[in-house]
Amino acid sequence: MFDDPMREPHSPQPPPGVAHQSPPPVPGQEYPPVAQAHHGFPTPALIGPSSSPAKGGPILGVMSLLLALIGLVCPFLPFNMDGYRQIIAFPLGAIGIVLGVLGVAGRWRAKPLAAVGIGFSCLTLGVGALFLLNYYVL
């Protein structure tokens, strides 16, 4: 039964499929035991990251990307937009950057989409600057 005389016998393991039961509570103690704060420290249940989900949907990222793409495509449309073709990209790109920064900085979902919207908004402002330079300088 014992192969080593100094080793004590181990407790029998429950059969497979039977859940391990916790020991019964001590008389006068609540079950399950409640964690108490010691020396002004919060209980372990209160320590840790917040489990609140991200608020809202991906609307800021989607709007940033949508405005950037509209501002990027509008100057290349094949109809007469004299006077507007050069400046249409600036308000759309600027609003796209603002919405993208708000989407990345806040606790929103779809932060990568907002970052892509910021990138395309910067590209939109660059294309708008090229069209403006071409119209007034060249």
Place of tokens 């600027």: 94
Instruction: Give the pLDDT score at 80.
Output: 83
Within-domain flag for 102: yes
Kindly state the average pLDDT of the residues 54-70: 88
Within-domain flag for 38: no
Within-domain flag for 99: yes
Kindly state the average pLDDT of the residues 107-132: 93
From first CA to last CA, the distance across the chain in angstroms is: 99
Q: What is the pTM of this model?
A: 0.59
Within-domain flag for 80: yes
Instruction: Give the pLDDT score at 40.
Output: 58
Within-domain flag for 75: yes
Within-domain flag for 107: yes
CB-CB contact of 89 with 125 (8 Å): yes
Q: What whole-number distance in Å separates Cα of residue 138 and Cα of residue 128?
A: 15
Instruction: Give the pLDDT score at 64.
Output: 96
- Mean pLDDT over all residues of the chain? 78
Within-domain flag for 109: yes
Q: What domain count does the chain have?
A: 1
Kindly state the average pLDDT of the residues 126-136: 91
Residue-wise pLDDT for 24-57, tens only, equals 666 766 555 555 555 555 555 545 555 556 666 7
**Domain limits for position 67:** 59-125
